[in-house]
Amino acid sequence: MIQSMTGYGKSILQLPTKKITIELKSLNSKNLDLNTRIPSKYRQKEIQIRRNLAKKLVRGKIDVSFFVETTAEELTAKINKDIVIKYLEQLREISEEEGLLSIVMRLPDVLKIEREELDEDEWSLIENTISEAVNYLQKFRSDEGEALKKDFVLRIEAIRSNLNEVIDLDEERLLAVRERLQKAISDLEVTVDENKFEQEMIYYLEKLDITEEKVRLNNHLSYFIEELNGDISNGKKLAFISQEIGREINTIGSKANFSPMQKQVVQMKDELEKIKEQLLNVL
């Protein structure tokens, strides 16, 4: 089943002193492009996060955001009592004014910031939350992929319908080409060797023969549908098949030399262009 590269996943972890929200947003990209917004406390795990996401999400422009909201008192700064006492003693030697403490609290090194160590139990819960967000994102991608698949099937069948019209028109086309050539010779009012003319006619009509193109195009259309129904989403392979479809359509168009058939070719090209645009978003 194909998947879209567009997706969104969100999961929330509620801890005793904080709420952690993980958001994943995905857009189409030729390769994997991971952008992360992670609080400094969890930055040491960034490489691990990137590695795990690369395995699961494969391709796309992925934005990863951690939002941490404190829900209870959690102090990371403490007063350095020894330094405060020293400052006060020195200031009292030169002044007896009230309010010395407010002055002291603005002096260097009065507050010391204690670095929070990452709790592994907490991190285990966060990892589960990330996995949950990834699952939501993949579900989103799968749902989008299902919608894309329905559109692809309709357009491939439209091309096949046009191809059937081309097949029906082929005999009429060759007769029309023969008549045009015979009329051109008649208009010249010259005598020609009928046997030589017939040989040249056969040679010319063989150049316009599209039997191989019709067979190959039909096979490519079937192969495209087969890949759509496969277990693995492979947008690059589908894009390659669409190029082969385009090659056969273009060859038929260059050989057509018949207005009704050219109209069918134009319609096939139009459907194929829409398929190619949508394939840019397939994983």
Who contacts 140 (Cβ-Cβ below 8 Å, separation ≥6)? 4, 6, 7, 8, 9
- How is the chain split into domains, by residue range? 7-73+119-142, 77-113, 145-279
163-180 residue pLDDT tens: 999 999 998 988 887 777
Please determine, for residue 106, whether its predicted confidence score (pLDDT) is greater than 80: no
pTM assigned to the model? 0.77
Confidence of residue 249 (pLDDT cuts 50, 70, 90): very high
Residue 281 to residue 81: CA distance in whole angstroms: 60
pLDDT class of 194 with cuts at 50, 70, 90: confident
Mean pLDDT of 242-251: 97
User: Which single residue is written with the structure tokens 């670095």?
Assistant: 115
pLDDT at residue 104 is higher than 60: no
Q: Are 142 and 5 in contact (CB under 8 A)?
A: no
pLDDT attached to residue 71: 76
Burial class (CB in 10 A: 0-12, 13-18, 19+), 12: middle
Instruction: Compute the mean pLDDT over every residue in the chain, rounded to the nearest whole number.
Output: 86
The candidate with the shortest Cα–Cα distance to 141, out of 27, 23, 250, is: 27
Reported confidence tier of residue 225, pLDDT bands at 50, 70, 90? very high
Which pLDDT score, from 0 to 100, does residue 49 have? Answer: 94
268-283: per-residue pLDDT in tens?
999 999 999 999 999 9
pLDDT band at 119 (very low <50, low <70, confident <90, very high): confident
pLDDT for 189: 63
Q: What is the CATH architecture assignment of 7-73+119-142?
A: 2-Layer Sandwich (3.30)
Cβ contacts of residue 185 below 8 Å, gap of 6+? 192, 197
Would you say the C-alpha torsion 212, 215, 219, 220 has a positive or negative sign? positive
Name the least confident of 92-106, 144-158, 269-283.
92-106
Mean pLDDT calculated for residue range 200-220: 85
CA gap 27, 279 in Å, rounded? 13
Dihedral angle, C-alpha 225, 161, 278, 215, nearest 10 °: 50
Q: For residue 221, is pLDDT > 90?
A: yes
Question: What is the predicted pLDDT for the residue at 179?
Answer: 78
Task: Measure the CA angle with vertex 98, ends 94 and 104; round to 5°.
Answer: 70
Q: Please say whether the dihedral angle defined by the alpha carbons of residues 215, 221, 226 and 232, taken in this order, is positive or negative.
A: positive
- pLDDT value at residue 80: 67
Instruction: Please check the confidence at residue 76 and state whether its pLDDT lies above 90.
Output: no
Q: In terms of pLDDT, which residue wins out, 230 or 179?
A: 230
Contact 23, 75 (CB under 8 A): no
pLDDT value of position 113 = 53
Q: What is the pLDDT of residues 41-69, one digit of tens each?
A: 899 999 999 999 999 999 999 999 999 98
Mean pLDDT on 131-150: 96
Query: Helices marked H in the chain — which ranges?
Result: 46-57, 81-94, 100-104, 120-188, 194-207, 211-228, 235-256, 259-279
Is pLDDT at 75 greater than 60 in this prediction? no
Whole-angstrom CA distances from 121 to 69, 96, 118 are 19, 52, 9
